[in-house]
């Protein structure tokens, strides 16, 4: 962002071309006038003054001043709207804006997410009721899920929420990802950040490393006072966008073993869990919450006995995040900012296209897009699914199905509606007219279209796509560049470090105007 790409605004190029052409005309006039004045026998100083007058007449010196004054008036009008621009010479780009890509969390929605509750896996491999209340740092069990097995699972998911994060303590305040902050505050635990502590001994071999420690609210029972519950973080694997998960290795005070806690996108966690620990209604419950616009985080864990600190440090991430037991879902409620719907409607009225580009679940993104009028309430939205050819293990093609009615599909070659044999065309809404629908794309499908798909299909996705979900920072960056490659003047509005690449690629002035203070 400190070194943005140079702006190629056509207005300035044409202005310099105009000045160059008029300069050539003035030069020819200067030569002709000079020769004519010499023939007339005028004084040399008068000849030079009269010839130079022609240059100032042909090339108006007030032109640059006029452009500067106009730019300053535009800046003053923007300032009245609390919009500040650090690149005044690019202010004219705002008038060319065709499309704006919005991040979701923290930009369209509130900065923080409220924890709605947790759904835990019960003994019969079903999800419990939504547990949204805590007592003494633990979930308050429901009457239908209060067995010893259920309480153990509820404790483990609280351990994951209290330890599996990237928070740091600065001036006695927890700072970090807003989701991690809200999740930890929900537990009511305390967190003491560890670090490297030098011993009083002079030899370096006596140096020690104190782990970060999470503690629940103190209870007054004798057992807890004799054997306090303290969880020390031996090692943490930070969140990686392509894996879409983070994990920690934790040891309880007085225990020789270690517990592994992993949280992340439900699709990612499902792949690394033991299949027998997954409830049968895993996808159904996930779709239920994402359709309603909630953000869902999955948690899993495992335990290994007699695991030394040195072995933990040498352990690979793949080894730590494998053969896990699924614990449950943490459900977050992310409310729209009060001004979001009005801003989107105003941009729509101005003929500026709005696109959502987020790392969240695609169904959650579609729900939020409909809530803020980026998508029409009844507008059909199609999402891609990979299909595999017989005998080929790699993903080979895409099919496009309507989110609300899988019987409605798009032709994968033209992205036009097709009528399948199962579609009853007599039902209103089962017939689509061109341009009365939109598409939503995941990061995996977007990458596949770029690497293996047809260029015409990719361009159509760029033109009619309104939601781009599960996008990594690099894919956000590439989306902006692809939109610019088909002659869109593209702005990007985001508030996180994962948006920096897209912000840098976006047209500079639009980026500076639309980004929040955190950018």
Residue 25 burial (10 A CB sphere; 0-12, 13-18, 19+): middle
Cα gap 354→345, rounded to integer Å: 10
Catalytic residue among 103, 360, 495, 499: 103
Write out the H or E segment, with its range, that includes residue 303. Answer: strand 295-304
Cα gap 363→288, rounded to integer Å: 9
How far separated are the first and last CA of the chain, in Å rounded?
A: 9
How remote is the C-alpha of 297 from its chain's centroid? 15
Tokens of 255: 């225990």
> What is the residue whose two structure tokens read 């840098």?
504
Cα gap 497→438, rounded to integer Å: 29
Phi/psi zone of residue 136: left (φ > 0), alpha (ψ -120 to 50 degrees), beta? left
391-424 core/surface letters (b: 16 or more CB in 10 A; e: else): eeeeeeebebebbeeeebbbebeebebeeeeebe
Q: What are phi and psi of 147, to 5 degrees?
A: -75, 170
β-partners of residue 467 are: 356, 440
Cα gap 132→130, rounded to integer Å: 6
Instruction: Please check whether residue 262 is in contact with residue 246, taking contact to mean a CB–CB distance below 8 angstroms.
Output: yes
Residue 424 annotated to the active site: no
Instruction: Please check whether residue 430 is in contact with residue 424, taking contact to mean a CB–CB distance below 8 angstroms.
Output: yes
Cα gap 122→101, rounded to integer Å: 41
Cα gap 372→318, rounded to integer Å: 39
Tokens of 245: 């998960």
Q: What are phi and psi of 210, to 5 degrees?
A: -90, 125
Q: In Å, how far are 217, 279, 387, 388 from 283, measured between CA atoms?
A: 35, 9, 18, 21
How remote is the C-alpha of 490 from its chain's centroid? 17
- Say how many residues make up the chain: 519
Instruction: Please check whether residue 259 is in contact with residue 159, taking contact to mean a CB–CB distance below 8 angstroms.
Output: yes
- Residue 420, classed as helix, strand or coil, is coil
Write out the H or E segment, with its range, that includes residue 508. Answer: helix 508-514
Q: CB-based contacts of 218: which residues, under 8 Å, 6+ apart?
A: 224
Cα gap 423→286, rounded to integer Å: 27
Instruction: Please check whether residue 294 is in contact with residue 371, taking contact to mean a CB–CB distance below 8 angstroms.
Output: no
By annotation, the residues acting in catalysis are 103
């Amino acid at each position: 962002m400190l070194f943005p790409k140079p702006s190629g605004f056509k207005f300035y190029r044409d202005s310099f071309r105009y000045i160059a052409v008029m300069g050539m005309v003035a030069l020819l006039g200067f030569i002709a006038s000079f020769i004519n004045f010499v023939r007339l026998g005028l004084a040399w100083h008068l000849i030079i003054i009269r010839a130079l007058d022609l240059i100032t007449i042909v090339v108006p010196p007030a032109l640059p001043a006029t452009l500067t004054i106009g730019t300053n008036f535009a800046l003053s009008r923007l300032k009245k709207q609390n919009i500040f621009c650090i690149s005044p010479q690019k202010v004219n780009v705002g008038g060319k804006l065709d499309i704006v890509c919005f991040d979701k969390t923290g930009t369209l929605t509130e900065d923080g997410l409220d924890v709605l509750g947790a759904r835990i896996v019960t003994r019969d491999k079903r999800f419990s009721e939504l547990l949204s209340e805590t007592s003494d740092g633990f979930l308050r069990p429901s009457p239908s899920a209060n067995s010893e097995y259920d309480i153990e699972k509820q404790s483990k998911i609280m351990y994951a929420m209290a330890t599996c994060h990237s928070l740091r303590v600065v001036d006695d305040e927890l700072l970090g990802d807003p989701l991690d902050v809200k999740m930890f505050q929900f537990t009511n635990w305390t967190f003491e950040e560890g670090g490297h502590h030098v011993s009083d001994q002079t030899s370096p071999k006596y140096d020690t490393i104190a782990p970060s420690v999470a503690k629940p609210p103190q209870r007054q029972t004798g057992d807890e006072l004799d054997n306090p519950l303290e969880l020390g973080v031996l090692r943490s694997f930070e969140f990686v966008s392509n894996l879409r998960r983070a994990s920690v290795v934790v040891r309880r005070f007085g225990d020789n073993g270690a517990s592994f806690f992993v949280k992340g996108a439900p699709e990612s966690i499902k792949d690394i869990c033991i299949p027998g620990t997954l409830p049968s209604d895993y996808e159904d419950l996930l779709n239920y919450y994402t359709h309603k616009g909630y953000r869902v985080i999955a948690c899993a864990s495992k335990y290994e006995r007699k695991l030394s600190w040195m072995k933990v440090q040498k352990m690979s991430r793949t080894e730590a995040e494998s053969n896990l037991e699924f614990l449950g879902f943490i459900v977050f409620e992310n409310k729209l900012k009060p001004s979001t719907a009005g801003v989107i409607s105003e941009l729509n009225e101005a003929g500026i296209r709005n696109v959502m580009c987020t790392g969240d679940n695609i169904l959650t993104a579609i729900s939020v897009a409909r809530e803020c009028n980026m998508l029409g309430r009844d507008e059909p939205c199609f999402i891609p699914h990979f299909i595999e050819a017989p005998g080929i293990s790699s993903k080979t093609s895409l099919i496009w199905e309507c989110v609300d009615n899988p019987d409605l599909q798009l032709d994968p070659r033209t992205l036009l509606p097709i009528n399948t044999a199962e579609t009853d065309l007599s039902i209103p809404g089962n017939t689509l007219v061109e341009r009365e629908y939109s598409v939503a794309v995941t990061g995996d499908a977007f990458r596949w279209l770029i690497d293996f798909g047809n260029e015409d299909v990719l361009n159509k996705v760029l033109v009619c796509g309104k939601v781009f979900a599960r996008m990594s920072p690099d894919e956000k960056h590439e989306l902006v560049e692809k939109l610019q490659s088909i002659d869109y003047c593209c702005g990007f509005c985001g508030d996180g470090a994962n948006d920096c690449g897209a912000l840098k690629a976006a047209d500079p002035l639009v980026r500076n105007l639309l980004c929040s203070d955190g950018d």
